[in-house]
Chain A
Amino acid sequence: MSSTTDMGAGRAQIAARTLRTDRWWLPPLLNFAGLGAWVLYATVRAFMQNWYFVPEYNYLTPFYSPCVSNGCVEQAAHLGRFVPDVWFLPYALISLPFLLLFRLTCYYYRKAYYRAFWGSPPACAVAEPHGKYTGETRFPLILQNLHRYFYYAAALISILNTYDAVIAFIKSDGSFGLGLGNIIIVANVVLLWAYTASCHSCRSIIGGRLNHFSKHPLRYRAWGFVTKLNGKHMQLAWATLASLAITDAYIMCVSAGWISDLRIVG
């Protein structure tokens, strides 16, 4: 058991795991439910291999961008098709793993899942249920230090998402179009950029690693901007989970013909 309630080491002998009287278990529970639900949805969708594209309006869900499987619809495959079409390979095979790893190693999500899924700690000043703890000093958790590579990858993928959002304004007949789908897609891309730019690694790379801001005024200003965004990293993390799911679900619904896109122009 943890040392908190341990009788050794001369600590005050208090048997209770915590004396907190507030509902400390609620935030980890909500995180557990929220993250769990999202992962479930994303997994189902990533392997569904269907209803990911609306050809008429060029809507491609971010879960399938870039679509690189031989099974992809040709119009949706901007980078070509080269991955075998088998059930266990997602169509966006070259982006999904990086996006997953970007979020998995994100400093915010780490906090959220260490607390919610591993109880390490469940909440502040609540003893954790493990006898041993080495943090991020060993394999595999030492790999959390690779966050910035996944950040680089995620930034590249955000460019692709932006491209997807732009060409979604061009309908299959080549004319300009604007529908609710476009608005959702653009909103999602904006949020994705904000989340990506608010990343702690980004903050360090853009300026945090400098010791003399005064000698790098441009980077100092950029750092100041990222720092502001970074303050909202948690909110952006959740906002993008929501926007991704909404975008995907909307495109699925339109693609499946369950609803039709609300058109504004064309």
Chain B
Amino acid sequence: MSHWHHFRVWRGDSSEGDLVDYPVEVNEGEVVLDIIHRLQQTEANDLAVRWNCKAGKCGSCSVEINGKPRLACMTRMSTFADDEVVTVTPLRTFPVIRDLVTDVEFNYVKAREVPAFAPPEGVAPGEYRMQQIDVERSQEFRKCIECYLCQNTCHAVRDHEENKAAFSGPRYLMRIAELDMHPLDAADRKDSAQDDHGLGYCNITKCCTEVCPEHIKITDNALIPMKERVVDRKYDPIVWLGNKLFRR
């Protein structure tokens, strides 16, 4: 059942690097990460790749396969033609450490800048009451496995290193949306979404949604609704008037 496949893997570090060719054996049912591991166990012991669960749940093995940001553990070899060259490169938006491993610190910095859940005052632990329909939207965003494929593919930072300071990226704008839609979160996040986290940089070209391995509808369910909530706050006099007249 096995056959040979032509792999090209980017090897190198931040100073230099290149695509290296490897002919490699592929068995039925294998994924790209299996092939990388086979290389590690045979001809490239020191080939660096980050991985953990191997079941698409931890989001560690993010790489680019034939130019597309993907999880190596969720890319089945059967999706390639037998004679197709498979090119595996590190994420291109983040600094490379070695081979397929990149420094994803950017994401942790941005995560720290999103104000945490603000518990409602006067509600003791055990007293939280929320309806399922009220938590479902945020639950969708909490499916995120933080693989950073969306952060990597978003052209606002992928193609523009200089925007990293002002733009938190889809993952953290979605985090803001998650908290803003939380039925019990006590904080207001609309102004800061726009002013501190760069929601305006998003031009809704939906690449984040395209690459999300959890199939979260980041753009339609998080980013656009958040943009609309910002409009409510900042750009819509009718809503403003309505709030004035019919304030409960």
Contact = CB atoms under 8 A, between A and B. Distances in A.
In the complex they form, whether A and B have CB atoms below 8 Å apart is answered with yes
Interface of A: 2-4, 6, 8-14, 16, 18-22, 107, 110-111, 114-115, 120-121, 124-128, 130, 132-137, 141-142, 145-148, 152, 200-201, 203-205, 208-209, 211-214, 220, 230-231
Given A124-B210, A128-B155, 8 more contacts: A3-B159, A4-B92, A14-B10, A107-B204, A125-B153, A204-B228, A212-B183, A230-B220
Contact of B96 (A4, A11, A127, A137): A11
B207 A20 contact: no
Contacts of A134: 201
Majority SS of interface residues in chain A?
loop
Contacts of A20: 66-68
Contact of B207 (A124, A130, A141, A208): A124
Given A12-B96, A214-B131, A132 B160 contact: yes
Contact of B92 (A11, A115, A220): A11
B25 interface: no
A125 B64 contact: yes
B156 A133 contact: yes
B203 A146 contact: no
B237 to A, nearest CB: 9
Contact of B200 (A130, A137, A146, A231): A137
B202 A211 contact: no
B161 interface: yes
Majority SS of interface residues in chain B?
mixed
Residue among B158, B204, B205 with max Cβ neighbours from chain A (10 Å): B205
Contact of A10 (B66, B96, B156, B181): B96
B108 to A, nearest CB: 16
Interface of B: 10, 12, 14, 16-17, 19, 64, 66-69, 84, 87, 89-90, 92-96, 102-103, 131, 133-134, 153, 155-163, 167, 180-183, 198, 200-207, 210-211, 220, 224-225, 227-232, 234-236, 238-239
Nearest to A110: B204
Contacts of B228: 148, 200-201, 203-205, 208-209
Contact of B224 (A19, A133, A200): A200
A203 B225 contact: yes
A30 to B, nearest CB: 16
A10 B225 CA distance: 35
A109 B90 CA distance: 32
A137 B199 CA distance: 8
A114 B202 CA distance: 11
A22 B202 CA distance: 25
A166 B89 CA distance: 60
A19 B64 contact: yes
B35 to A, nearest CB: 17
Closest 7 CB pairs of A and B: A10-B95, A19-B67, A20-B67, A204-B228, A2-B159, A137-B200, A124-B207
A101 to B, nearest CB: 14
Given A136-B202, A136-B203, A11 B182 contact: no
A4 B159 contact: yes
A47 to B, nearest CB: 31
B13 to A, nearest CB: 9
B242 to A, nearest CB: 10
28 contacts: A2-B158, A11-B95, A11-B96, A12-B10, A12-B102, A14-B10, A19-B89, A20-B66, A107-B204, A114-B203, A115-B205, A121-B159, A125-B68, A125-B69, A126-B67, A133-B201, A135-B201, A136-B202, A145-B230, A145-B231, A145-B235, A200-B225, A201-B228, A201-B231, A203-B225, A204-B224, A208-B228, A213-B131
A19 B90 CA distance: 12
B182 A211 contact: yes
